[in-house]
Structure 1
């Protein structure tokens, strides 16, 4: 059985690899690291990049926390045990260019060590996902992103992409706006071993997903970072960021988990953009790229 120590070590390495590659891609700004400890057990490494050539704000965070679950979290997770351990890497990047998309990725592991005993079934699972939120949806970029993620999924289990893509469509949905946060990607939670999937396979898939981040996102950055843009297009970018903010504060499970388990506020809320705007009763011009983007913010689009 894979140990939580091995998972922790490998996730830390993935954080290191991603930060080094993003610094090279930006070419100007460097990550600032803040190590922190959680009251109740564990801690993490928050790494933030700001005011770069292309990355206006981004975070690549690692945490490994443990302790006792609050009662409301026990009810939400439908568990009886008190003790928990959770580790993961979480990424959100907000570029300064409206043609370069926002990206989010998360890989995580959760267990309840006190459930590991004779005659007891251990409670443990992996979760994660990656999704893209373009300010302007470019068909070729959307197809590249989904095809790349599908290739990672297909190399581990032929049903992963289809199942996790549907999950992402449902999860990254802003109900009060009746639109998806972006073009989706994949999302999965409580993934456990069974007759067809071993713990080793699930862990390797988790790491492969984490390591897909750099080749996928740097390609999208390089495709679009030198495209000229107007002040009006940047205003649209700020408006799309407002939708991102609404989702993260209202619906995001990771944000809620961090707040409910006494997580570090600055690390939890690093996903929020540095600038966003809420324009009253905005109506896209018929036939515009803004209208096209809005028309594609829906579930069930087959990008791959």
Structure 2
């Protein structure tokens, strides 16, 4: 193809809340619905597969949507999907921040957070196509790895 789009969003919670997961997925579905009644289901399945950590037998978070190499031969429609997904991020995420920003945290909560950060780092270093591509093609490693959390825990 001469062009393609990729995008999506996934929720990588430090602590999982069912209500947050429901809200996030509802906003992702709302972004996908104008582009076809089955698109959300397809992109959610792609995210579930893509963000899965086989050696842990679990996902790195609670999922979302994902697509790559999207070229339906309708540039305008593919671009609009990408815009709609991008525009859905703040309505999907900000209410979660507002809901929890005043929450008091315990040492046990901090441990859960660090373990989730570890899953994120582990996934990105072992499986993420963008991270692998950036490192294999000689890009600045600090720029490639800057999305990794400053602290994480594996055990």
Tell me the TM-score range normalised by the shorter chain: over 0.9
Structure 2 gaps, min length 5: none
Selected match of 1:134 from 13, 19, 25: 13
Distance 1:262 1:156 in 2: 37
Rounded to whole Å, the distance in 1 between the matches of 2:2 and 2:132 is 21
Say yes or no: does 1:213 pair with 2:89: yes
Alignment match, 1:252: 128
Select the structure that is richer in helix.
2
Find the counterpart in structure 1 of residue 25 from structure 2: 146
Aligned partner of 1:155 in structure 2 is: 34
Match of 1:67 in 2: none
Q: Which residue of 2 aligns with 1:202?
A: 78
Taking the TM superposition and a 5 Å limit, the aligned residue runs for 1:270-285 are 270-279=146-155
CA distance in 2 between partners of 1:264 and 1:227 (Å)? 37
Q: What secondary structure, in the 3-state scheme, does the structure 1 residue paired with 2:35 have?
A: coil
Q: Classify the secondary structure of the residue corresponding to 2:152.
A: coil
Shift of 1:260: 2.2
How far did residue 253 of structure 1 move? Answer: 0.5
Which of 164, 174, 177 is matched with 2:56 structurally? 177
Structure with the greater relative contact order (CA < 8 A, sep ≥ 6): 1 or 2?
Answer: 2
Q: In terms of Rg, which structure is larger? A: 1
Aligned CA-pair RMSD: 1.3
1:235 corresponds in structure 2 to 111
Which structure shows the bigger proportion of residues in strand conformation? Answer: 1
The count of corresponding residues between Structure 1 and Structure 2 is 155
User: TM-score, structure 1 length as denominator?
Assistant: 0.49
Q: TM-score, length-normalised on structure 2?
A: 0.94
Aligned equivalents of 2:136, 2:94: Cα separation in 1 = 34
In the TM superposition, residue 231 of structure 1 has moved relative to its aligned partner by 1.3
Contact kept, 8 Å, 2:7 with 2:67, in 1: the verdict is yes
Please show how residues 1-304 of structure 1 align to structure 2 within 5 Å.
122-194=1-73, 198-279=74-155
3-state secondary structure, aligned to 2:105: coil
CA–CA separation in structure 2 for the residues paired with 1:159 and 1:199 = 19
SS at match of 1:273: coil
Per-residue CA deviation, residues 144-166 of structure 1 (Å, 9 max, x unaligned), is 00000000000222221010100
Unmatched segments (≥5 aa) in structure 1: 1-121, 280-304
Question: 2 CA distance for matches of 1:159 and 1:262?
Answer: 38
